[in-house]
Amino acid sequence: MGSMSLWEYANPKKFLTTSERILPFFWAAAAVCLVVGLIWGFFFTPDDFRQGSTVKIIYLHVPSAMMAINIWVMMLVTSLIWIVRRHHVSALAARAAAPIGIVMTLIALATGAIWGQPMWGTWWAWDPRLTSFLILFLFYLGYVALWEAIENPDTAADLTSVLCLVGSVFAILSRYAVLFWNQGLHQGASLSLDKEENVADVFYYPLLVCIAGFVFLFIALVLYRTGTEIRARRIRALATRTRAQA
């Protein structure tokens, strides 16, 4: 009896048929969690005693910042799989994820600035976490630009994988900068295994629903976009073959 293996999905056809079957679930789960989480957070949670109504920004800022870092980690894993096993679907999944990472980083930076202005009195500070996040954003842009700049898809996958490895330093710094330097304006983790550090329950539960919504949205988007990249690669390969035959 043949056992199921994760590597089966390295086959583009298998990936496309499976992802098309499960995509409706992830789109629906993303829509439900985002609508429920954001409405709960915006309309049905109280103001914070220090931060007033700005605490409502947490439902966008924390999930987008978490996704910005975790998407880079996902790209790192898929890039390493490409480097080691040369599975095209893996490299294309990393390529497909990067623009989602750009948008998540942009939302985290924008909501952070909008939140920071009334709370810290400034839109921006060269704080360790904020600075490493800005550098992560620049790495995302560079990563996408590198894919676009190189014609040969295998060379592009190789070079972007190396760039992804280097950028991982900043993804990790974005997460742990507060611990490394213990300075700057930005607070520590909003969610942590240490209950003492967590935000209060009244904010915590809608925040969890929003995080689930962002995760489901990312999964739906990355599956859909990887499918698009697989088809685009096939179109390019066919065009090259046709040109060679002509």
Partner 1 sequence: MMPDLGKYADAVLSAYAASIVLLVVLVVMTVLRGRKVRAEMARIEEQRSKNG
User: Rounded distance, CA 117 to CA 125, Å?
Assistant: 10
Residues 203-242 contacting partner 1, CB under 8 A: 217, 221, 224-225, 227-228, 231-232, 234-235, 238
- The residue among 166 and 232 lying less far from partner 1, judged by its C-beta, is 232
Can you spell out the DSSP letters for 81-95? HHHHH--HHHHHHHH
| C-beta of 60 vs 171, nearer to partner 1 | 60
CA 212 from centre of chain: 13
DSSP string, 45-68: SPPBTTTBGGGGGHHHHHHHHHHH
- Residue 116: count of CB within 10 angstroms of its CB: 20
Task: Select 62 or 173, whichever has its Cβ closest to partner 1.
Answer: 62
The candidate with the shortest Cα–Cα distance to 57, out of 107, 7, 11, 4, is 107
Considering only residues 72 through 111, tell me which ones interact with partner 1, judged by CB under 8 A: 99-100, 103, 106-107, 110-111
Closest approach of Cβ 99 to partner 1, in Å?
A: 7
Shortest spacing between CB 168 and partner 1, in angstroms = 23
User: Is 139 or 214 the residue whose CB approaches partner 1 more closely?
Assistant: 214
Closest CB 97 distance from partner 1, rounded Å: 11
Between CA 215 and CA 5, with CA 219 as vertex, the angle to 5 degrees is: 120
Binding residues (CB under 8 A) for partner 1: these are 38, 42-43, 47, 52-54, 56-57, 60-61, 64, 99-100, 103, 106-107, 110-111, 114-115, 117-118, 217, 221, 224-225, 227-228, 231-232, 234-235, 238
